[in-house]
Structure 1
Amino acid sequence: MDFLTSPFDWWIEPFYDNVFMRNALWSGLLAVLATSTVGTWVVLRGMSFFGEALGHGVLPGIAIAFILGGDTMVGAVIAALVMVFGVNLIRAHSPLPEDSSIGLLYVGFLALAVVILSSSSGAYSGDITRFLFGSITGVTDSDLLRQLIIAGITLLGIVVLHRAFLVMTFDEVQAELLGLRPRVAHAALLALLAIAIVASFQAVGNLLVFAFLVAPPSTAAMCVRRVPAIMITAVMLGAVAVVVGLLISYHHDTAAGATMALGTVILFLIALLIRSLSGTYNVRLIT
C-alpha cells in the first residue's frame, strides 16, 4: 500500500530521480497519442484484425534491418507500407473478402519474419525479444524525437482527413457522392495506421501494440459518443495505463510493456463491468 502511505516515493520519485523513467514516460505517452487517435477509426470501422496483422507485418522489415545493421524503425516503416500496399492491391484484384487478403499477408509476413530470424545467430535473441515485447526503459533521445515526428504526422493526417474518415465510416456511398474519394481515404487511413504502429513498437513491442491500438478507443467508445471525444478520452485512458504500468513495473520488477498493455485491457474490463451493471449495452455515436 505504499502508493497510499508514501505517495511521493511511489508516484513521483521514480520519474524525478531516473532519466530512463522520464524517457519511458514520454515514449509511452507519444505511443498512446499516435495509436489511440488512429485506433479510434480502427475500432469504429471494424478494422481490428488488420491492426493486429499490421502489428506483426512490420517484423520482416525489423528483422532485415537488424541483421543488416540498419535502422530498425526504417525497416518497420518500409514493411508496414509494403503490407498496406499489398492489402489494397489484393483487395482491388481479388474477388475474396478483404479479411482474406489480410489473413494471407498476415501469415506470409509472419512466416517470413520467422524464417529470417531463425537463420540469424542465436546471440541476437535478446534484441529480438526487445522487438517483440518492447524495451521502453531503453529509449534514447533520438528515439523520442522520431516518435514525436511520427506522432505529429499521424495527428496532422487525422485532422486533415477527419471529414473523409467520418463520412466513409458511416456511409461510403455518401462519401463518394460528396467527392471525398473513400478509397483514397481508406488507403490514407491504412498508411496512418502503419506509421502509428511503427511509432509504438519501440515502447510496447509488436506483440503488445494491438492492446494500445484497440483497448483505449474501445473503452472510450463505451463512455462518450462523439468521435473527437472518443479520441481524447482514449488518449487519457492510455496515458493512465502508461503511468500506472510504468510505476508498477518499476516497483515490482515486471515487464514494462506488458504491464502497460495489461493496464489498457483492465480499464476496458472495468468500463464494461460498470456499463453492464448500469444496464446500458448499446453504444450510439453522434457524428
Structure 2
Amino acid sequence: MSPIDFIRDLANPDLSFLWKALVIAVMSSLICGVIGCYVVLRGMAFIGDAVAHAVFPGLAIAFVIGGNLILGGIAAGVLTAVLVAVFAQNRRLKEDSVIGVFFVAAFALGIVIISRAPGYAGSLQDFLFGSITGIPDSDLYVVAGTGLGVLAALFALHKELVTISLDRETARAMGIRVFWLDLALYVLVTLAVVISVQTIGNILVLALLITPAATARLLTDRLATMMVLSPAIGALAALVGLYVSWSWDYPTGGTIVLVLTTFFLLVYAQRVVGSRA
C-alpha cells in the first residue's frame, strides 16, 4: 500500500477506527517521549516495565465490571506507586527491591482477576499486546486530558526533577522534598503507561518510554533538545509503524516497537561511524 492509499484510508468514514488509532498512538508516543527523558536521565528503565505490571489489576477490574480501562489502570498504578514510594523509605531495602515485590504482585493479581472474565484468553492477549483498533471515542478525550495534565506537571516540576536525578543528596541538602518528587514521578510515569497500554500493550509499553529517549540521548547532550527530539522520534515511529502494520497486516504494537528499535540502531551506527571518521 502506498502512503497516498494510507491517507485515503484515514479519511474514509468507514475506517474511522484507523485515524483514532493514529491519534492515540501519536499522543501516547509524545507523552512517553517527554517523560521518558527523565526516566533515562535517572537510569531507571526498570520503573517503566514495573509500572506496566502495576496497572494490570486496575485494567482487569475495569474490564470485568465494564468500567473505563484507563481510569482503572490509573487507580491501580497510582496506588502501587504510593506503596512503593512509602516502603522504599526504609533504608534496609533498596528501591528496586521494593519495586520488584509490589509491581510483580500487582501483575499476578491482574492475572487472577482477568481469569474470572469470559473470553479470558482473548482479553489477556489484548491487554498484553494492545488492541489499538478497538479504542472507543471516549478514550480519545481521556488520553488527551491525561496527557496534557502529565505535561503540565512535568513543566511545573522540571527543575526539581532534574536536580534529584543528577544528585539526590545535594537535593536533600537544598531542602528539596525528594520523597514527594519521587512519588510524583512514579505517578506521572504510571499515567503515561496507562494511556499507552491500548496502543502497544502491557508487555511492550516500556519501548515507548525508553527507546525514543535513548535515541535522542545519542543525538544530543542537552536535556532541552533531548526533550524535543524524543517525542518527535516516538510520534514518527508511531506513524510509520501504523502505516506498515496496516499495509502488511502486522501487529501494530510490535511493529511500532521494531520501527523505534530501527531508529535507535541507525542513530547508534551513525554515531559509531562518525566517531571513527
Fold similarity call, TM over 0.5: yes
Cα offset, 1:118, TM superposition: 2.8
Structure 2 CA distance, aligned partners of 1:239 and 1:119?
36
2:85, 2:179 within 8 Å by CA — same for their partners in 1? no
Partner of 1:238: 234
Cα offset, 1:94, TM superposition: 5.3
2:167 to 162, 166, 171: 171
2:27, 2:235 within 8 Å by CA — same for their partners in 1? no
Structure 2 CA distance, aligned partners of 1:60 and 1:172?
32
Partner of 1:215: 211
Q: SS in structure 2 opposite 1:51?
A: helix
2:245 to 249, 255, 264: 249
Which region of structure 1 is more displaced relative to structure 2, 182-191 or 110-119? 110-119
Partner of 1:15: 10
Cα offset, 1:57, TM superposition: 1.3
Change (3 A) 1:173 1:94: closer
Asked if residue 82 in structure 1 is aligned to residue 79 in structure 2, the reply is yes
Partner of 2:56: 59
Cα offset, 1:43, TM superposition: 0.7
Partner of 1:184: 180
Q: What percent identity do the matched residue pairs reach?
A: 35
The TM-score normalised by the length of structure 2 is 0.93
Q: CA RMSD in A?
A: 1.6
Partner of 1:73: 70
Q: What letter matches 1:72 in structure 2?
A: L
Cα offset, 1:107, TM superposition: 2.2
Which runs of 5 or more structure 1 residues have no equivalent in the other structure?
281-287
Q: What letter matches 1:217 in structure 2?
A: A
Q: SS in structure 1 opposite 2:67?
A: coil
Cα offset, 1:133, TM superposition: 1.2
Asked if residue 202 in structure 1 is aligned to residue 227 in structure 2, the reply is no
2:22, 2:242 within 8 Å by CA — same for their partners in 1? yes
Partner of 1:106: 103
Asked if residue 118 in structure 1 is aligned to residue 115 in structure 2, the reply is yes
Partner of 1:44: 41
Which runs of 5 or more structure 2 residues have no equivalent in the other structure?
none
Which region of structure 1 is more displaced relative to structure 2, 108-117 or 146-155? 108-117
Q: SS in structure 2 opposite 1:247?
A: helix
Which region of structure 1 is more displaced relative to structure 2, 105-114 or 43-52? 105-114
| 1:230-274 C-alpha deviation (Å, 9 max, x unpaired) | 111011111111111111111101111211122111211111111
Asked if residue 31 in structure 1 is aligned to residue 31 in structure 2, the reply is no
Give aligned pairs, total: 274
Partner of 1:285: none
Which region of structure 1 is more displaced relative to structure 2, 151-160 or 197-206? 197-206
Cα offset, 1:134, TM superposition: 1.1
Which region of structure 1 is more displaced relative to structure 2, 111-120 or 72-81? 111-120
Q: What letter matches 2:115 in structure 1?
A: S
2:265 to 255, 269, 274: 269
